[in-house]
Amino acid sequence: MEGDLAAAQNCSSCPIRHRAVCARCDDDELVRLNDIKFYKTYSAGQTIAMRGDALDVVASVVAGTATLERVIEDGRTQMVGLLLPSDFIGRPGRATLQYDVTAVSDVTLCCFKRKPFENLLVEIPAVQQRLLEMALDELDAARDWMLLLGRKTAREKIASLLMLIAKRTMHPDGKVMGDTTRIELPISRETMANFLGLTIETVSRQFTGLRKDGVIDLDGNRVVRIPDLEGLLFESGDDGDGGTLF
């Protein structure tokens, strides 16, 4: 985690620079953001925030993975979102958080006090525009997730999640950021089952089936090799029109 934190200290070389809320900022605007940012780190399993907490800080995920969860009336917990590097936590203009946020791996956050950040939204249109884009992408993702949970088969659900993780390793202009044929799953099979509305046994069977059919190869429990991204996209049930997947 220390390496991720050190790499992010300089905004221009930050690993999420081209995806995060600062993606459209010029050098002078980055300096202004840098003046009010600070970093926080969390260990795997640690609670980052709880529903109903005062929203004093907003943040971008620099490294690691976190979950968004809601507890329903009978005490059951439902995972409703997966936060990956460059995702934004918090909503300017809101006083409290709507979900529990938990680190599922070691997490590094680039944080901003909410009030100074809200002031910068007015003063730096590039940040405001990018935050709007991210909010609209999140709305599209929620609609896609409704389709996935309601209509897709178990195999398509697993393939869709793998495509999501693979596509998040790419630069927004389509350039590859790292080896997109090898991905490391950021969550366990149990968390994956919760997220997709499946049982752990079903998740394991679908991974085995995709491996037997040559769509993926497995290296341990967390590393997945994808010989053909187009083939995986076909298995996900999506049309490959170039749009954002989740």
Q: Is residue 93 part of a domain?
A: yes
Residues 107 and 222 in one domain: no
pLDDT at residue 9, rounded to an integer: 66
CATH code, 21: 2.60.120.10
Neighbour count for residue 143 (Cβ, 10 Å): 11
245 pLDDT higher than 80: no
3-state DSSP of 107-161: EEEEEEEHHHHHHHHHHCHHHHHHHHHHHHHHHHHHHHHHHHHHHCCHHHHHHHH
Q: Is residue 190 part of a domain?
A: yes
128 pLDDT higher than 90: yes
pLDDT at residue 110, rounded to an integer: 96
| Sign, Cα dihedral of 223, 227, 231, 233 | positive
On the CB side of 76, CA atoms within 13 Å amount to 5
Q: Taking residues 43-69, report their average pLDDT.
A: 93
Residues 123 and 222 in one domain: no
Number of structural domains found in the chain: 2
CATH code, 177: 1.10.10.10
Q: Taking residues 27-39, report their average pLDDT.
A: 92
pLDDT at residue 4, rounded to an integer: 46
Q: Taking residues 39-43, report their average pLDDT.
A: 96
Q: Is residue 25 part of a domain?
A: yes
State the residue range of the domain holding 123. Answer: 2-138
pLDDT at residue 50, rounded to an integer: 93
175 pLDDT higher than 70: no
167 pLDDT higher than 50: yes
Confidence of residue 156 (pLDDT cuts 50, 70, 90): very high
Confidence of residue 153 (pLDDT cuts 50, 70, 90): very high
CA distance 104 to 42: 9
- In angstroms, the first-to-last Cα distance of the chain is 27
173 pLDDT higher than 70: no
Alpha carbon 185 to chain centroid, angstroms: 12
Per residue in 1-19, pLDDT (tens digit) is 444 454 456 777 788 988 8
240 pLDDT higher than 90: no
Q: Which of 193, 182, 175 is nearest to 229 (CA)?
A: 182
Q: Taking residues 108-132, report their average pLDDT.
A: 93
Q: Is residue 245 part of a domain?
A: no
Residues 14 and 107 in one domain: yes
Per residue in 193-221, pLDDT (tens digit) is 988 989 999 999 999 999 999 999 998 88
pLDDT at residue 80, rounded to an integer: 84
